[in-house]
Structure 1
Amino acid sequence: MKFSENWLRQHVKTSASRDALAATLTAIGLEVEALTTLGEQLDGVVVGKILAAEKHPEADKLQVCQVDVGGAAPLQIVCGAPNARAGLMAPLATIGTQVGNLTIKAAKLRGVASNGMLCSAKELGIDADASGLLELPDDAPVGKPLADYLGLPDASIELKLTPNRADCFGVRGIAFDVAAATGCEVEPLHAEPVAAVTTAAMAVELSAGADAPRFCCRVIEGVNATAKTPLWMAQRLLRSGVRPISLLVDVTQYIMLELGQPMHAYDRDLLTGPLGVRHARAGETLTLLNGDAAELDAQFLVITDADRVVGLAGIMGGDATKVSDGTRNVVLEAAHFAPAAIIGRSRKLGLHTDAGHRFERGVDPELPPIAIEYASRLILEIAGGTPGPLVDVARLSDMPQPQVVRLRRARLARVLGTQVDDAEVTRMLGALGFAVEYTDAGWTVTVPPRRFDIAIEEDLVEEIARIHGYDAIPATLPAGSTRLIAPSETRSSEHDTRRQLVAREYLEAINYAFVDAALLAYWQLDTGSVALANPLSAELGVMRTRLLPGLTAALARNSARQQSRVRLFELGRTFAAGSAAPIETRRIAAVACGDAASEQWGVAARKLDFHDIKGDLDSLAAISGATLEYRASTQPFAHPGRSAEVYRLNEAGDAVCIGWIGQLHPRVQQAMAIDAEVYGFELELDALLVRPLPRAAALSRYPSVRRDLAFVVPESVHWAVMQATVRQAAGNQLRDLQLFDRYVGKGVESGCKSLAMALILQDDSRTLTDRDVDAVVAEVVAALSANHGAVIRG
């Protein structure tokens, strides 16, 4: 929210200095994000009128102007502004005036005397426009100090508002907070009803239920739409970041900035009537004021004229019925729309409007008739016309009702940790615009409907805390005992997991839990995704179902910034649609690309491969003592020959899938503009961290026996499945199984491979004989032959 300091001071007469006012706003939760001073040094700058402008005899781009400043004779000024012309009213800095870092002196430019300087808005420090002289209205008083004429000095203040403070999207709403914090009172708003002169009116039909419970309008006939916006209004708009357009539009903008109530003006002659509000129908379209064609559905609220869509309710009006310089009869409209009916609709169309921004957060339902009366009075005073009656149609049962909240004195003292005087509490609540009734236990507070953020007792406690001042609340440490909970032995810590990955040169990333729906769809991970009703942007429209897409996008951004070796990991939650609420799953993921080791002289450069990333995962599994198995993966985003599903063996010996590891598919890498091969893994964190309780057992007193076996198997048979077969066939006497060689070439049939393994056998009760070992080997050979077509290599 951006506004003029002088405008705010018109609503609340505080003696606080500018710096103190800015500090107060920030202290009470209305953070001042920017403060720009305007017209600080304008002594000696007056309103001048150019009487004549002739071409400089020695310069094509300069003019010699005769300027009347109310003195005995005109001043001669040499000016290079392109808009300098006879009859123009413009600011003139007289000799001796300080303009920025320049002191104006009498001078000669190309041999012609110049006794001052005609100024642009930028040179005077009141606007960024440096395209030419600041053009003043034709009725500007010649010779009057410019500061007095423009209401300067002033400041443009920009607040960073939190979403719950919708009432502060108007200068008057901010004034209530300032009044409460500085001990002042808000000045009365002069918006007396305008008496109807004609019977001209528009009928109104409301068909959207609680989504649009109030609609006000008034017809004003015979308006001079070409009347100029008054200087005071134009300046307040400019200092609030709004460029004046035309009187009728400027008045609606002015009301919105002052009261916080969005408005719209229609050309009455382009309407048939009645006006109405309903939900859009599928397939309806509307050309908006900005020229965009909006395709609508039943989620949108629309303003209609005899059932013809003429506006997008709460967002933007339609182009077909807009006011123009030719408008003579105007319809002013102000309505109340429920926040839930407006939230997310602008973003769905790729729009952001001031009206939508306010309605999404909540606008006072009592404001529409006040706004109509205020706007009517301004238009009648400036552009003339004859007003019709105010049409105010309201569905009272659907209107937000004032909240009555009880504030207990004891509860206030307990939460704040300090006692606030009863009279001060009453004053603060009253200054905020609340109706306060004193009771024995505390206060009964009736909250005005503009304060959507006040619903329970703690909300009132927060109001007292921020207005009283957080610095006035003593810092008291909590008293009492704290029960320490020992970490469970059945679970390894997340800290150890993070530390292990950092030790292996990974950096932790923290990404949004929201991602682009198109990104999930491309990865084919959008099944069960949860869409957001009010996303931060179109690119953050759904909750992530996996960590890898967002983490890989982060890797891509680093890679695009000349980082050839990137290693990132993330611990976070993923979300999937559930019957009642989204199902949250804690997961861990990592991605890497580039060389296997940092550049150095001792080791030759080698690109990262599957076994490097598998080693990183195995090191994580070792923390919890997990036994992992890897089986070929068919994930659509994975490289078909370099990826695997990760299984963990539980205590019963069953394998449970807990994640994925491998290289991303080349098409995914290409779509994300990553040149290098990207490897990564993602697993369910809780399944990885489970740690079996350690059980002490005596070491066997008997020697182990090793048998080396080499099998020829088809190339398509994976070691993981062979390993499972061997372990099952060998039984309890198998202590370890190691794959120590893989061979293809001479002596091995084409399409096959030779895998050599070591079986380490041992018994706890006796020494194994050759017969015992041969029996185990025979079982292993038979099982591998039957299940995988393995043949002992001769």
Structure 2
Amino acid sequence: MKISLEWLTDYVPLPGYSPDRLAHDLTLKTVEVEGYDTVDGDVVFEIDNKSLTNRPDLWGHYGIAREFSVLYGLPLTPLPRAPRPPRATGLIRSADPDWHQRILAIQCTVDSTVPVPAFVRDRLRRIGAPSRDLSAYVMYAVGQPSDLRTAGESLVLEIPTLIPSRARRSARTEASVRQEKGLDTQRADQAADLFLHLLTEADPSAVAIGEEDLVLSATHRAEIETSLAEIERRIGLRLPEAEILRTLRALGCTAEITGDLLRVVAPSWRSTGDLALPVDIAEELARIHGFDALPARRPVVELAPRPNRLPLSRQVRETLAARGGATEVLTYPWSADHLLAACGLDATLTIAHPPAPDRARLRPSLVPNLLEAAAANLRYYDEFSLFEVGTVFTATERTSAGILLAGPDGIALFRRAKGLAELLRRHCHLTALDLSGTPDLTWADESARLAIHDGSRPVGALALVRPSILRAAGIDRGAVACVELDLDALRTHPSRENRYDPVSDLPESDFDLSVVAADTVRWAQVADTAAQAHPLVRRVTYVDDYRGAPIPPEHRSLTLRVTLRPQSATLTTGEIAAARSEVLAALERAGARLR
């Protein structure tokens, strides 16, 4: 939007103020001035439209002049008033309550040969207005669009006030831009008075002969109450009461202070959503006082370990869903009697009014309900992963996390379940999660089960589900692995562990080994032995295992990948071979020989 300095001086005297100062002060306290140009001896400011989106009162010269009068404490010249014609009908072409808030129409007789005054054309030309008539001048003066049309030997000025949401649906023009910001209905009177004043100055013989005014939804002045203490808290400064009243009244508000209470009635041109809350009053006082004049406090920065802010239950959910690829389910807090019996679970808490005769007991574990959910999903999918985080009811209420994996290969499911448990330990920052020992659970298959401990405390179990339990749950194919953790018993680190692991400047080398080991030799023992066998070994990762001919009974073939990181120079073939030999020798001493 462009604003003429000469035009502004019609409403507020700005003696001795340079364009630089005016642009600087207006930018700091009201709207952003992008720059200015000199046009025919006039200074034209370029104002960024985005900075006054919420200020419909500033979309005209009079609104900007009002801001300058407040900033500098200068008098604001009132807009001219003009005699209004008698009431008439038939001047308004159409009115729609879904589009209009008010329509004011005035009919005038005028000598069509009288030209538009030169100063009107010149000012509109300097600011780049596409139209150079009196209605355009009025719009750029007070921000109120209007429509001028001929009606026989006379002119009809129609001044609509549109509902902002409707105006946004119309074609984007200079008029619609102002309407969509939310104009007050009282502004139509300013536009009408200014137009009639300009018309009679240009053509003294012009006469306003009729007026039709239709108000569908008038703008009501906003009433706001706040306290001086709240204003001080918001801006960090106790402003004098005289300054508060002087500023608000200069902005067009009605303001009074009683004790610590400040009562404000906003003007109509600020009551279309601009001034509505106590914080808006604080903002007005702060900007006019000057944001640069408000006290500044040096921030105090305290460095401390960052705690895990999310609850553990939330971290478990996010980890299993985002990193583990599992789907969360929500089941009822009760379980079916036949599943509780099959799983060997003793549910002592009952529901006074159960949803069904066989579902009167509250669940002491998430496993029965997860099995029921798995049976329902196996009708459509061959393999999937489910989890639930919820309350279980034993002697006390506990928060538990249950994971179920279904698929055709039980060994693969068991390994993946172990991987998910390790995933939780690492990404939920658990202090410890040890998988060792055998849990005493009826539903756990004796061939694949592990107890889970946090240090010396049992916190859960991981196991394949026994086939008899699967049949009781209605699962007649595939295998199922389950993990259950007592989240209330788990402990987390106070902050996340950050470790710097430098990237090698030299290329790493790796090789795979397949070794045969007895079932009593654990994978962890094999991995640790290989990792410590040579200084160049950087990491050892699991690849696969195999049971069957020609592997002896109660043995398995383990395939592992050993990665070597050079220390000073790229590894040679001989160095890689020497490291491989030492790793094999260490594995043989641990009971794992090369296949």
Q: Return the TM-score normalized by structure 2.
A: 0.54
1:339 to 132, 141, 164: 164
Contact in 2 for aligned 1:338/1:359 (Cα 8 Å): yes
Question: Aligned partners of 2:128 and 2:160: how far apart in 1?
Answer: 24
Q: Counterpart of 1:158 in structure 2: which amino acid?
A: I
Q: Report what 1:7 is aligned to.
A: 7
Q: Report what 2:285 is aligned to.
A: 464
2:54 to 143, 164, 185: 164
Write the deviation string for residues 133-168 of structure 1: whole angstroms up to 9, x where unpaired: xxxxxxxxxxxxxxxxxxx24334324333211111
Report the RMSD for the aligned CA atoms in angstroms: 4.7
Q: 1:460 to 1:478 in 2, by over 3 A?
A: farther
| Identity across matched positions, percent | 25
Contact in 2 for aligned 1:214/1:393 (Cα 8 Å): yes
Structure 1 residue 21 displacement after superposition: 0.7
Write the deviation string for residues 694-722 of structure 1: whole angstroms up to 9, x where unpaired: 6212499xxx9xxxxxxxxxxxxxxxxxx
Question: Aligned partners of 2:293 and 2:406: how far apart in 1?
Answer: 61
Three-state SS of the structure 2 residue aligned to 1:181 is: helix
Q: Check if 1:215 corresponds to 2:103.
A: yes
2:404 to 650, 653, 659: 653
Question: Aligned partners of 2:67 and 2:250: how far apart in 1?
Answer: 8
Question: Aligned partners of 1:692 and 1:155: how far apart in 2?
Answer: 62
Q: Report what 2:359 is aligned to.
A: none
Write the deviation string for residues 529-579 of structure 1: whole angstroms up to 9, x where unpaired: xxxxxxxxxxxxxxxxxxxxxxxxxxxxxxxxxxxxxxxxxxxxxxxxxxx
Contact in 1 for aligned 2:111/2:206 (Cα 8 Å): yes
Three-state SS of the structure 2 residue aligned to 1:243 is: coil
Question: Aligned partners of 1:484 and 1:407: how far apart in 2?
Answer: 38
Q: Report what 1:392 is aligned to.
A: 213
Q: 1:652 to 1:760 in 2, by over 3 A?
A: farther
Q: Counterpart of 1:235 in structure 2: which amino acid?
A: D
Alignment of 1:774-785 (within 5 A): none
Contact in 1 for aligned 2:4/2:44 (Cα 8 Å): yes
Question: Aligned partners of 2:142 and 2:125: how far apart in 1?
Answer: 17
Three-state SS of the structure 2 residue aligned to 1:11 is: coil
Q: Report what 2:155 is aligned to.
A: 330
Question: Aligned partners of 1:471 and 1:391: how far apart in 2?
Answer: 49
Q: 1:163 to 1:241 in 2, by over 3 A?
A: same
Contact in 2 for aligned 1:339/1:361 (Cα 8 Å): yes
2:260 to 435, 441, 444: 441
Structure 1 residue 463 displacement after superposition: 0.1
Write the deviation string for residues 284-343 of structure 1: whole angstroms up to 9, x where unpaired: xxxxxxxxxxxxxxxxxxxxxxxxxxxxxxxxxxxxxxxxxxxx421101122222332x
Unaligned runs of 5+ in 1: 40-151, 270-327, 494-586, 588-620, 630-645, 657-686, 705-724, 737-756, 763-767, 775-794
Q: 1:489 to 1:690 in 2, by over 3 A?
A: farther
Contact in 1 for aligned 2:30/2:67 (Cα 8 Å): no
Question: Aligned partners of 1:486 and 1:390: how far apart in 2?
Answer: 70
Structure 1 residue 759 displacement after superposition: 4.7
Question: Aligned partners of 2:301 and 2:556: how far apart in 1?
Answer: 66
Equivalent residues, number: 374
Q: Check if 1:235 corresponds to 2:157.
A: no
Structure 1 residue 381 displacement after superposition: 3.1
2:68 to 156, 178, 193: 178
Q: Report what 1:600 is aligned to.
A: none
Structure 1 residue 25 displacement after superposition: 0.7
Three-state SS of the structure 2 residue aligned to 1:238 is: helix
Structure 1 residue 486 displacement after superposition: 2.5
Q: Counterpart of 2:181 in structure 1: which amino acid?
A: R
Question: Aligned partners of 1:11 and 1:187: how far apart in 2?
Answer: 5
Three-state SS of the structure 2 residue aligned to 1:21 is: helix
Contact in 2 for aligned 1:333/1:372 (Cα 8 Å): no
Contact in 1 for aligned 2:12/2:74 (Cα 8 Å): yes
2:80 to 190, 197, 201: 190
Question: Aligned partners of 1:381 and 1:430: how far apart in 2?
Answer: 32
2:173 to 353, 362, 368: 353
Q: Return the TM-score normalized by structure 1.
A: 0.41
Q: 1:159 to 1:339 in 2, by over 3 A?
A: same
Structure 1 residue 773 displacement after superposition: 8.2
Three-state SS of the structure 2 residue aligned to 1:389 is: strand
Q: Counterpart of 1:626 in structure 2: which amino acid?
A: G
Contact in 2 for aligned 1:206/1:212 (Cα 8 Å): no
Q: Report what 1:366 is aligned to.
A: 186
Write the deviation string for residues 56-114 of structure 1: whole angstroms up to 9, x where unpaired: xxxxxxxxxxxxxxxxxxxxxxxxxxxxxxxxxxxxxxxxxxxxxxxxxxxxxxxxxxx
Question: Aligned partners of 2:210 and 2:90: how far apart in 1?
Answer: 9
Q: Report what 2:295 is aligned to.
A: 474
Alignment of 1:682-697 (within 5 A): 695-697=433-435
Structure 1 residue 770 displacement after superposition: 2.7
Question: Aligned partners of 1:490 and 1:168: how far apart in 2?
Answer: 52
Q: Report what 1:626 is aligned to.
A: 324
Q: 1:647 to 1:169 in 2, by over 3 A?
A: farther
Q: 1:477 to 1:484 in 2, by over 3 A?
A: farther
Question: Aligned partners of 2:103 and 2:220: how far apart in 1?
Answer: 17
Structure 1 residue 399 displacement after superposition: 1.2
Q: Report what 2:144 is aligned to.
A: 261
Three-state SS of the structure 2 residue aligned to 1:445 is: strand
Contact in 1 for aligned 2:92/2:158 (Cα 8 Å): no
Alignment of 1:532-571 (within 5 A): none
Q: 1:31 to 1:647 in 2, by over 3 A?
A: farther
Three-state SS of the structure 1 residue aligned to 2:195 is: helix
Contact in 2 for aligned 1:492/1:623 (Cα 8 Å): no
